[in-house]
Structure 1
Amino acid sequence: MKAREGSAMATNSLVQRIARQALATFCKPLHVFPDKHQQLLGLMSQARATDLHLQPPAVDSPPPSGAPPVTYMHICETEHFSMGVFLLKSGACIPLHDHPGMHGALKVLYGKLRVSCFDRLDSHSACTHLRPSSRPQVGAVRRSVLRSSAEYTDVSEACLLAPDRDNLHQINAVEGPAAFLDVLAPPYDPDDGRDCHYFQVLQGPKLHEREVWLMEIAQPLSFWCGTEPYPGPEVRL
């Protein structure tokens, strides 16, 4: 009886319900069932660290030498979406990056994050290239706009991104370690044109107080992501 009860609790866990709602939301274009998107956000906004059996680090101590600043816990993945948890050490940063053609949602589980979101103003005519002599790294330069920069905690609602809104963002751990639940739809797939690209802000606002120039760069050497096992309830799809 106890085994059956445990299995029933796992299949009815908040994490399981979020995964099922994500599948229902992203198995068809969002314009078909826009209400399902809101249902997913509502469920994610309820999530806390205890729902995933996570414990914030008891002591905020520097990570061992050579340890990754960020680690990832894989929960589940289908052709329609992926779900997992990112854990950031104190002071860690996930550099400015994009999600080509992807929707996503982020929910802080513990700690505090600062999330800065950008959009390209014109992905075609504004794209140019730096001369090789002007920078040691040559990359595409795009006129962009800072849409928002805000701090989130475990009591904040889920933070959203869409293919054409808040698609580029940088995530910083503030005042200690932090963790967040991450849903991306569809998952990254370089073979299908959905690869992660990194960017650097070249200059501050000029023509408009929130306009910037972003240059595509290689993955920063200071950032890499390790993995660790997910300790939470099993997800079945």
Structure 2
Amino acid sequence: MRIEIDKRGNSFCDFGPEKKAKKTRRKHKKAMPTAVQRLFEICNDVFAGAGSVPSPPQVERLQSVLDSMKPSDVGLNELMPYFEAEKNEGYPPITYLHVYECDNFSIGIFCLPPSGVIPLHNHPNMTVFSKLLFGSMHIKSFDWAPPPFDAVWPAKAKAETTSSVRLAKVKVDSDFNAPCKTSILYPTSGGNMHTFHAQTACAVLDVFGPPYNDSKGRHCTYFHEFPYPSFSGDAVSVQENGGEYAWLEEIERPGSLKVVGAEYEGPKIVDTL
């Protein structure tokens, strides 16, 4: 380093050409992408649109980045008002934070206060990744009963219900506590129909591929679960086959379900692809 004097008599430091170059290189060093940006970029690679299902290597790649994500990666903490316990009777409202959506996939976060419930619903022709960011919840999921039991139709159900009742097999019926692995469901397997019951305040980061779209046949349907013995008189052989079964009846969107939208305030996604 040498000291030089400018025309006004002020001194300044000249670091020489080598150190100037180093400073320039540091200035233009590329910033590391945020976790949510990496998630977005992988989703762009993994989801190819309607009718496609990610391959096992693609699933593993997306699951890996979701498994490592924390609440702070999406700007959340348990003290936010979304997670406050409700004093009123009935199910508390659930907040949905919309992060990103395109034709091939969507990214969003469900914020559930204690006792919050997302009723039993399906994901037609969709692959869904759900990451519990924090909290504890009970998840119960179903797939439609496999052949030949998918053709079982209880005569008693025809007389006692107003719509179709179909046999489903339980896939998951367990408590989950963060941190835990990402849950994955597929168009016809993995628990395509599921329900969430929050035991504590919790946040779930969801990736849908492709997203819901009524005009393209991806309409969210809700179900009421009847315990298997309810209509088992003419279908005892199914339960004897092993596994746990239930009867699911299509219903309108439950009036108890209250979902409110709020602005996502975490790190932003830069869509440059």
TM-score range, shorter chain: 0.7 to 0.9
Kept in 1: contact 2:163–2:249 (CA 8 A): yes
Given candidates 144, 163, 169, the residue that maps to 1:139 is 163
Shift of 1:180: 0.7
Give unmatched runs, 5+ long, in structure 1: none
Question: Where do residues 11-50 of structure 1 align in structure 2 (5 Å cutoff)?
Answer: 12-27=33-48, 29-30=52-53, 33-50=55-72
Kept in 2: contact 1:85–1:179 (CA 8 A): yes
Are residues 127 and 190 of structure 1, via their aligned partners in 2, closer, same or farther at CA, if it must alter by over 3 Å?
Answer: farther
Pairing 1:225–2:249 present? no
Pairing 1:195–2:254 present? no
Given candidates 124, 133, 136, the residue that maps to 1:112 is 136
Given candidates 132, 151, 169, the residue that maps to 1:125 is 151
- Which amino acid counterpart does residue 255 of structure 2 have in structure 1? L
What is aligned with 1:83?
Answer: 107
What is aligned with 1:158?
Answer: 182
Secondary structure of 1:75 counterpart: strand
Kept in 2: contact 1:25–1:36 (CA 8 A): yes
Are residues 63 and 52 of structure 1, via their aligned partners in 2, closer, same or farther at CA, if it must alter by over 3 Å?
Answer: farther
Deviations 1:132-178 (Å, cap 9, x if unpaired)?
x634xx2221011111112223310101100111100011101x211
Kept in 1: contact 2:91–2:116 (CA 8 A): no
Are residues 126 and 224 of structure 1, via their aligned partners in 2, closer, same or farther at CA, if it must alter by over 3 Å?
Answer: farther
Q: Which has the higher contact order (CA 8 A, sep 6+)?
A: 1
Higher helix fraction (1 or 2): 2
Higher Rg: 2
Pairing 1:210–2:236 present? no
How many residues are paired up?
227
Shift of 1:68: 5.5
Shift of 1:188: 0.1
Shift of 1:236: 2.1
For 1:27 and 1:236, how far apart are their aligned partners in 2? 20
Kept in 2: contact 1:141–1:216 (CA 8 A): yes
Kept in 1: contact 2:91–2:257 (CA 8 A): no
For 1:179 and 1:95, how far apart are their aligned partners in 2? 16
What is aligned with 1:173?
Answer: 198
Deviations 1:16-64 (Å, cap 9, x if unpaired)?
1111111211126346x43121110000011110111101137853267
For 1:199 and 1:102, how far apart are their aligned partners in 2? 17
Identity %: 28
For 1:67 and 1:151, how far apart are their aligned partners in 2? 19
Shift of 1:65: 8.3
Kept in 2: contact 1:30–1:37 (CA 8 A): no
Deviations 1:91-122 (Å, cap 9, x if unpaired)?
01100000001000000111112111101115
Are residues 192 and 91 of structure 1, via their aligned partners in 2, closer, same or farther at CA, if it must alter by over 3 Å?
Answer: same
For 1:170 and 1:66, how far apart are their aligned partners in 2? 17
Deviates further, 93-102 or 67-76:
67-76
Kept in 1: contact 2:91–2:256 (CA 8 A): no
Deviates further, 21-30 or 226-235:
21-30
Pairing 1:57–2:79 present? yes
Give unmatched runs, 5+ long, in structure 2: 1-26
- Which amino acid counterpart does residue 71 of structure 2 have in structure 1? A
Secondary structure of 1:228 counterpart: strand
Shift of 1:125: 3.2
What is aligned with 2:127?
Answer: 103
